[in-house]
Amino acid sequence: MRTPVPAYIETLQPYIPGKPIEETQREYGLSDVIKLASNENPLGPSLKAVHALQESLSKLHLYPDGSSFNLKRRIAEHLGVDPAAVVPGSGSNEIIELLVRTFMGGDDEALLCQGSFAMYKVTLHAHGRRFLEVPMKDGHYDLEAMAASIGPKTRLVFVANPDNPTGTWFGRAPFERFLETARAKNPEALLVIDEAYFEYVTEADYPNSLVYHRDYPNLVTLRTFSKIYGLAGLRLGYGVMAPALASYLNRTRMPFNVTSSAPAGGLAALDDADHVVKSRELNAQGLVYVQQELKKLGVKVLPSQANFVFVDLGRPATPVYEGMLRKGVITRPIPNYGFPNALRISTGLMADNQRMVAALREVLKVP
């Protein structure tokens, strides 16, 4: 019998988010639960953002400014770009969706790294678009192989730096070679560089993709308020691209894709540089601690420039994940990314990190 949806929807698997704290409390009868599963900022949002949001609520009867004038101007100032290059969205996830919906037609293909951020694939699949996946190399993007795979039909190339779920990153030299080869193979392919964890990066060789926009007008940079700014629940992210490209997204997006409160929170968050610095420092300490302690448990941990680590347990991760849940520690199994033996674990407050390591030690029965 015919299904009520096209075949590409029938076979679509929903995105599986991290397990919520309340659900874990309910299911396991626990009161004290910590969540290190969704790369959320353990310090919470900036208090300045919270106050600005509270003030914005009395205007909820009004429709938002559909052009996001103030927000675009402030983001543009923050980045040193043209306001017309900025497209705000309901999280950067919406920009991913808009890019696929706007730029891909019938025969066009997207190029992805296998095992990278699942939303690229989910979105392409949901639109019935073709895509090609290039394998990783030792938990890292293989930019050389990706560039080599670009062809005349390639319309979008998705690249996460740092990557999620591995936390790994690439430096300037491989990125510059990638840009060159991509241009030689198909200058019309849009190169989408997803920098959701940009503000967490401490590595000096990390390439800020915005620097390359002038020489490569086919670049699209994605950033978000969900990660270091601690505003994941507000749903605010943005893309930066040539104004001519941005103008197409302004045709296809919903007129009020950003709520009226989101800019209030985002603007205040951009003004609270202290909160960003504190968050970055806490994370840097957390990464050092977690890497060092987890290695003592005999598991493999990939290097990370994000706010989480990829832990290869060398055995099926689901029972370990469940054992940790029973101890009130939520981590993220990632079998749907093709890593059945791995957990992705966000950094938390130092006490959370210690509790996570202790829980894993007990579940793995390491003396």
Q: How far is CA 68 from CA 73, 117, 194, 198, in A?
A: 8, 27, 21, 23
Report in angstroms how near the CB of residue 133 gets to ligand PLP at its nearest.
16
Report in angstroms how near the CB of residue 66 gets to ligand PLP at its nearest.
20
89 within 8 A of 95, measured Cβ to Cβ: yes
- Residue 151 one-letter amino acid: G
Report in angstroms how near the CB of residue 1 gets to ligand PLP at its nearest.
36
Size (the chain), residues: 367
Select 119 or 363, whichever has its Cβ closest to ligand PLP.
119
Question: How far apart are alpha carbons 221 and 139 in whole angstroms?
Answer: 22
Q: Beta strand 219-224 with 237-240: parallel, antiparallel or unpaired?
A: antiparallel
Report in angstroms how near the CB of residue 10 gets to ligand PLP at its nearest.
26
Select 24 or 307, whichever has its Cβ closest to ligand PLP.
307
Select 136 or 359, whichever has its Cβ closest to ligand PLP.
136
Report in angstroms how near the CB of residue 236 gets to ligand PLP at its nearest.
7
Provide the 8-state DSSP code for 171: -
CA 249 to mean position of chain CA atoms = 20
Residue nearest to ligand PLP (CB): 91
Select 71 or 363, whichever has its Cβ closest to ligand PLP.
71
Question: How far apart are alpha carbons 67 and 364 in whole angstroms?
Answer: 53
Report in angstroms how near the CB of residue 220 gets to ligand PLP at its nearest.
13
Q: Which helix (H) or strand (E) holds 346?
A: strand 339-346
Select 64 or 239, whichever has its Cβ closest to ligand PLP.
239
The residues of the shown chain that bind ligand PLP, judged by CB under 6 A, are 39, 91-93, 117, 160, 164, 194, 196, 224, 226-227, 232, 237
Burial 43-77 (b: 16+ CB within 10 A, else e): eebbebbbebbeebeeeeeeebeeebeebbebbbe
Q: What radius of gyration, in Å, describes the C-alpha atoms of the chain?
A: 21
Report in angstroms how near the CB of residue 199 gets to ligand PLP at its nearest.
12
* CA torsion, ordered 290, 143, 238, 215, to nearest 10 deg: 130
Select 68 or 92, whichever has its Cβ closest to ligand PLP.
92
Select 103 or 117, whichever has its Cβ closest to ligand PLP.
117
